[in-house]
Amino acid sequence: MNAIALPLLLLLSDPAPDQRPRPEPATTLHALFREAWEFRLREDPLLATAVGDPRGADRLPSVKPADLERRAMATRDYLARLKKIDPAHLARQDRISYHMFARELGDDLAEHEFGAYRLPLTADWGFHIGIAQLPSQVPLATTRDYENYLARLRAVPAYFADHIALLREGLRTGFTLPRVVLSGYDGTIRAQVVEDPEKSVFMRPFQSFPIGVPETDRPRFREAGRAAITEAVVPAYRAFLDFMVREYLPEARQTLGASELPRGREYYAHRVKSFTTLEVTPREVHEIGVREVAPQVADIFRT
C-alpha cells in the first residue's frame, strides 16, 4: 500500500466527529450530575463532611468574591450543557431529575446575579450559628479527626472576615436585612464570646475523648483546643459582634419587604417562584392567600 492510500483508507474508516455515535442522553445526564456533585463537594468542605466525604475535612468553605464568581461560572456551564440534553429522550425518572437539576442550577445562578451572597444571614440563622454546631457535626473519632477539627477552629477568623466583607458590601449597596428583625440578634453572637475557653461549646470535644484518640495525645489536644478558642474563635466572634452592633444594625434598612431591596421586585418574584416551585407572581400568591383565609374571616364575624 502506498503512502497516499494509507491515510485515505484511515480517513474513510474513521467517521467524522459529528458522525460518531453520541452517548445516550441518560449517560450524558448522569455524567453531568456526577461532575456537578464532585465540584460542589470540593467547593464546600462542610457539605462534604456532612455527607461523609473526607475531602477538605480540615477546611472551611471560601466565600471570597473570586470564588463566588468561579462557582457561578461553573453553574452557567452546567446549565448550558444540561440544556443541550433533550428531556423528551429520557426515561420518566431521569426527566424528573433533569427538571429538578435545571431548577436548582437556575435558582443558584439567579441568587448570585441578584447578589444574594451579600446577605449570608437570616432573621434566625447565620454562618456563625452553623460554625457553632461544628462540635456536634464533624467526625471526632480519631487523632486525624481532632487535627482536622483544630484546623477548622483556626480557620474561623478568615471565614468570619470574608462574611463580614460580604455584609459590608450589602451595607454599601443597600442589600441588608430589615433592622426590625435584628432585635436581639446579637445574642446569637454573644453566646460564643467567652472569657474562659472551658465554657465554650467548641471545647466540648476536648472534655472527653473517644477510644480512637490515644491517652498520650489527649493533653496536647486539650491545650491546642484552648489556644485555638482563645486566639482564633473567640476573637472572630468578638469582631463579628462589634461589626454587627457598631456598623450593621445602625445602617440596616428600615423597610421590610424584599421588594425594597435593589432590584427588589425582580428579586421578590424570583424568591416566590423559588419557594413555591411554581410559575406564579407575588400578586397571584397574595390573591390565593386572600381567598383561602376569607372563609375563616367570615366565620369569625358570624360568631
pLDDT tens by residue, 172-206:
999 999 999 999 999 999 999 999 999 999 999 99
The CA–CA distances, whole Å, from 162 to 49, 67, 74, 92 equal 21, 11, 21, 43
pLDDT given at position 298? 64
pLDDT tens-digit profile of 18-43? 555 567 999 999 999 999 999 999 99
- Segment 139-159 shows an average pLDDT of 98
Report the pLDDT value the prediction gives residue 294, as an integer from 0 to 100: 75
**In the chain, domain spans:** 23-114, 121-256, 257-303
DSSP string, 227-292: HHIIIIIHHHHHHHHHHIIIIIHHHSBS--SGGGSTTHHHHHHHHHHHHH-SS--HHHHHHHHHHH
pTM: 0.88
For 232-245, what is each residue's pLDDT tens digit?
A: 999 999 999 999 99
pLDDT in tens, 61-98: 999 999 999 999 999 999 999 999 999 999 999 999 99
**In the chain, % of residues over pLDDT 70:** 90
What pLDDT shows up at residue 302? 66
Question: 157 Cβ partners below 8 Å, 6+ apart?
Answer: 232, 235, 236, 239
What are the grid coordinates assigned to 59, written together? 477546611
